[in-house]
Chains A and B, each alone.
Chain A
Amino acid sequence: MRDTVPAKQIPPVSADADPSSIAGGAGAAAVLAAGIGSFLMGLFAVIADKSASIKSLMIFSRPTGPLSGVTTSAIVAWLVAWVVLHARWRGKNVALRSIGTAALVLLALGFLLMFPPLADLF
């Protein structure tokens, strides 16, 4: 999914940087992590809905119920993914098109998993 050609600049990118030398690694890390977070939000919601034991595990805040655990877990996973991917890809040129496509597929899957009639199929 990525190549390892080092770029000349380490972001943030200065305004007078040569456009051909701008590394997309940091941006790719941000979009893929957002895709992962979105997908996990949907996945955790379905799992917590289907499994009574997971549902009770997801009660991080009793007044809010399982929603607290579902959202907190997905947000933590999103931020961890972002930090890890950023550390690996910053300052590098990566396959932006493939990574962007993967991020959009994950976002779409997460969106679909959150739609109750579809989630009820599982």
Chain B
Amino acid sequence: MEITERSLWTLIHGMGFGALYLLACSGALVELYRRYCAHNPAQPTPRDEAFLRVYLTVMAVLAWLAVFTGAYIIYPWYRAVPPPGTSGLSPFPQRLLMSSPHTVGWHSLGMEWKEHVAWLAPIAITMAAAVVWQYGCHLASLRPLRAVVLSFVWVSLVAAGIAGFFGAMINKNAPVEGGPVIHVMQGE
């Protein structure tokens, strides 16, 4: 069993940071709604407060790691330009997608959207974490602020979902491959 260096980075970016962020996002939405709902009679304990603060901070770190690995490690491999006279386009995913009318949309819509919209996730969740660090349980009494924070976290979930969906589909149609081969284990 082996994997190329570029595939490994794609896995770290998509499954490690991106998918984990998406999973964590639903939990954050539930907790933010339940805990700071003005009708919730149960007051969160200091331990609960600390947990949510750390949870959102870890989410912000995951979101930043996802966009930075995507933009500065994987995207350069994706958009690499083949030298003149190159016949096989498989090491050049963007050009491979653009070479066929059946796949060009994955780049012109998918990647063009994903490469920008994904950045909404770290901005939104960093803001949400900062607000929760700032106000803690008092967010319940600042209803307009709580509503806006929840909306931003919803948008971050949608943005991360769009990025994740197109990332997976683009990698299915034109995988980012290459680099040194890493032998994971020997087959029987």
Contact = CB atoms under 8 A, between A and B. Distances in A.
Contacts of B120: 38, 41, 107, 110-111, 114
B123 A26 contact: no
Contacts of A67: 71, 75, 115-116
A12 B134 contact: yes
Interface in B115-148: 115-117, 119-120, 123-124, 126-127, 130-131, 133-142, 144-145, 147-148
Contacts of B40: none
A104 B76 contact: no
Contacts of A42: 116
Nearest to B68: A71
Interface in A81-122: 96-97, 100, 103-104, 107, 110-111, 114-117
A6 interface: no
B5 interface: no
Contacts of B117: 111, 114-115
**Interface of chain B, helix or strand or loop or mixed?**
helix
A94 to B, nearest CB: 10
A22 interface: yes
A28 B145 contact: yes
Interface in A51-87: 61, 63-65, 67-68, 70-71, 74-75, 78
A61 B68 CA distance: 12
A21 to B, nearest CB: 10
A13 B67 CA distance: 32
Contacts of A47: none
B138 A19 contact: yes
A61 B72 contact: yes
28 contacts: A13-B136, A15-B46, A15-B137, A19-B138, A19-B140, A19-B141, A24-B144, A30-B127, A30-B130, A30-B134, A31-B127, A34-B123, A38-B120, A41-B123, A63-B72, A64-B76, A70-B116, A71-B119, A75-B119, A96-B145, A100-B145, A100-B147, A104-B151, A107-B151, A114-B113, A116-B108, A116-B109, A116-B113
Interface of A: 11-13, 15, 17, 19-20, 22, 24, 26-28, 30-31, 33-34, 37-38, 41-42, 45, 61, 63-65, 67-68, 70-71, 74-75, 78, 96-97, 100, 103-104, 107, 110-111, 114-117
